A and B are shown apart, each in its own frame.
Chain A
């Protein structure tokens, strides 16, 4: 239970960002802990416990969304041509964490999940692609789009 007490909040935040539902996030964190305890022998180095648990909870969270058929957008996704990232250069607004959180929360799943995994959970585009069964190019483009939408929302807020 010590491990549980130490990591439960961190894992809860990770799961909540992906699932967006408090009860489901709690259940998912519990599932992840049980899975981790059952597979503890596979962990080679105790120092990696936090990141290892994080990976498990992310897997469990995505599995739950798959189970609830909330990852249907994966079938809609296809490989786009590399989009121009020129417009992502003009970033000159003062930001607040709360506003960014709200704006991320308001994004559609297909942008939000990729953005969260890349920006906050430090997954690479390649890892996200493997995790979601998408092509890396698709992930990159969805990321660029998501970031554009996020910035647009934040800019709208500043104008209002």
Chain B
């Protein structure tokens, strides 16, 4: 059964917590005070002035810490890459990949991060992590290293789901150098017919 179907079918079982009885008394009191609200005080100009000064100071401090923040970003990147390398479960590895992608989403590709991603592609990692890495790498279609590594992975990968993802990726990149690994897949007796079919279709497209 699919996860979605399971949750939808057992939805009522997820509502098993009870609101503590003592909370009802608390609510009655709150309801009474809410129905008889006290008059609100008008903020004085003085307060507004203090707030503006505080805001200006905060702005200055923010500006002053800009450089420090930059250093912290580098440190954060190193920690995330380290965490990725040390992930001992599939879910923690997947989470680390997503975290890196989120944190550095709008930035130029980073060599350290790319290297860590390439390592996952080459290693004996799980399919979900590899697919997540491929998605992340595809955000840099013009990077030659990214293209090289995706083609290399296409030639070495044996997991069907990842093979399909790689074929789709290489098709997006319209990479002529993918012909050799595609032929290898087509000739591989152990490759799934679905994978072979996709590889043949892409090869035909690249030969046009």
A interface residues with partner B (beta carbon < 8 Å):
1, 4-5, 8-10, 12-13, 16-17, 26, 29-30, 33-34, 37-38, 73, 76-78, 80-81, 83-84, 86-87, 91, 95, 97, 100-101, 108, 110, 119-120, 145, 147-156
Among the stretches B14-22, B42-50, B56-64, B148-156, the one at the interface with A is B14-22
Contact of B103 among A1, A76, A119, A147 (CB under 8 A): A76
Contact of A78 among B2, B26, B105 (CB under 8 A): B105
B interface residues with partner A (beta carbon < 8 Å):
1-4, 6-8, 10-11, 13-20, 23-24, 26-28, 30-31, 34, 89-91, 94-95, 98, 101-103, 105-106, 126-128, 131-132, 135, 138-139, 161, 164-165, 168
Contact of B19 among A8, A84, A97, A145 (CB under 8 A): A8
Is the beta-carbon distance between A91 and B94 smaller than 8 angstroms?
no
Q: How far is the CB of B108 from chain A (nearest CB, A)?
A: 15
Is the beta-carbon distance between B94 and A12 smaller than 8 angstroms?
no
Is the beta-carbon distance between B91 and A9 smaller than 8 angstroms?
no
Is the beta-carbon distance between A152 and B3 smaller than 8 angstroms?
no
Contact of B105 among A76, A97, A155, A156 (CB under 8 A): A76
Question: Cβ of B168: which chain A residues have Cβ within 8 Å of it?
Answer: 84
How many A-B contacts if CB must be within 8 Å? 112
Is the beta-carbon distance between B11 and A33 smaller than 8 angstroms?
no
Question: Cβ of B91: which chain A residues have Cβ within 8 Å of it?
Answer: 149, 152-153, 156
Q: How far is the CB of A11 from chain B (nearest CB, A)?
A: 8
Is the beta-carbon distance between B17 and A16 smaller than 8 angstroms?
yes
